[in-house]
Structure 1
């Protein structure tokens, strides 16, 4: 091999090494850019995922709030319907004849006074008035009516425990009283207000079973569906 050929090969090798050395930094720089791009992309994806999770949580909270508001509105509407129904029933004679009257004018006046308060939506005063009437005339022909309206007044004034006590006493004293089914409806409504749903269901089922031919039984059936 000639000296000239050897020198040429050495020069070519040196040139190749020089080119390789120059290419390495450029290659390393491209990898760094790619890594940064990947890291940036991962960060963006993570941020988007976090934002989506927060958005879903906020949406779930909003849906829950709306559901609660709808439930509350339904409850208020149902309560309003019940109060309207109670007001309607209070003007009806449940005995099938004319409203009861007694011969003693003082006794009749003692009953009419709280009844006027009841019809004027002065329920606390009415409850007290009916209570006073029952104390003074416990054996009156108007006693069961007075006890019914006393319990209804207690319910309307949000004394739910008192309403239950008075109206259950009415039904216990005479299960065949014309007001018994309606009295149990008020008992059930009071139990619902006290969050005693099992007690309310039991009371409503009792109405349906014991007083099937009454309008109260139809109301009880519709309320049982709402409590399912």
Structure 2
């Protein structure tokens, strides 16, 4: 009887085929592993990029927040200084035979000591000044909406008053200090246009420039601030205008 012929493993076509398939499968698995690593590396790179962007956004936000806080602090310091100035230099309200009461609330000098004695105004004058003072007191207390209503009421009732220019200016301040720059700009511009003889004209022009700055209207802001320097070179408003112009230059605006 003849025996079966045994094919060596190295020559077995089935085994060879299985071996080839196994090799191919391993190559595919290695490629898959490599592809996963590539994708993972890409994801890591994307995450790192996003982290850098977030850090940049945080730094930008921090800068803007600090800048806003600085501007707000400057605004409050500015209005406080101006309020104190007005209180110290305002004319007296009433006077009796012996005393005169300062407009800002300070005591006046008596006639016996040689100080100024101002004749008591008529009923209309007293009511006018009381209306103005009431609005001004609200402004000093930080009650800006009530102060705004008070100044608007004063302007409606006493449009020809000597204090109308002041009232229009402080109306603008009630908007400015609360960062309502569009409304503030309109109020300050009205103070400039309608009350050119007011002592608050330099300050109103200055605040027109400030509002333009806050609104990003840098060309107009620079023009307004330069107007203050040209028309009122010796005033405090001119000094503040110069400081803001220097700041704009350092900011590249």
- Shorter-chain TM range is 0.7 to 0.9
- Which is helix-richer, 1 or 2? 1
2:75 matches 1:82: yes
Hey, what does 1:9 align to over in structure 2? none
For structure 1, the 5+ residue unaligned runs are 1-14
Q: Which residue is equivalent to 1:73?
A: 66
- 2:162 is the counterpart of 1:141: yes
Match of 2:36? 43
Q: CA deviation at 1:194?
A: 4.8
Q: Which position in structure 2 is the counterpart of 1:6?
A: none
**Alpha-carbon distance in structure 1 between the residues aligned to 2:210 and 2:89:** 28
Q: Which residue of 1 aligns with 2:26?
A: 33
Q: What's the RMSD between the two structures over aligned residues?
A: 3.5
Assess, with a 3 A threshold, how the Cα gap between structure 1 residues 173 and 40 changes in structure 2: closer, same or farther: same
Greater C-alpha Rg: 1
Query: Which of 15, 21, 26 is matched with 2:11 structurally?
Result: 21
Offset, 1:162? 3.5
Where does residue 98 of structure 1 map in the other structure?
Answer: 89
Q: Is the 8 A contact 1:130 1:146 kept in 2?
A: yes
Deviations 1:104-135 (A, max 9, x none): 23333222211111111112222222222233
TM-score, normalised with respect to structure 2: 0.66
1-side partners of 2:150 and 2:199: how far apart?
A: 22
Q: TM-score, normalised by structure 1?
A: 0.72
Would the aligned equivalents of 2:202 and 2:228 in 1 still touch at CA under 8 Å? yes
Gaps spanning 5+ residues in structure 2: where?
A: 1-5, 94-119
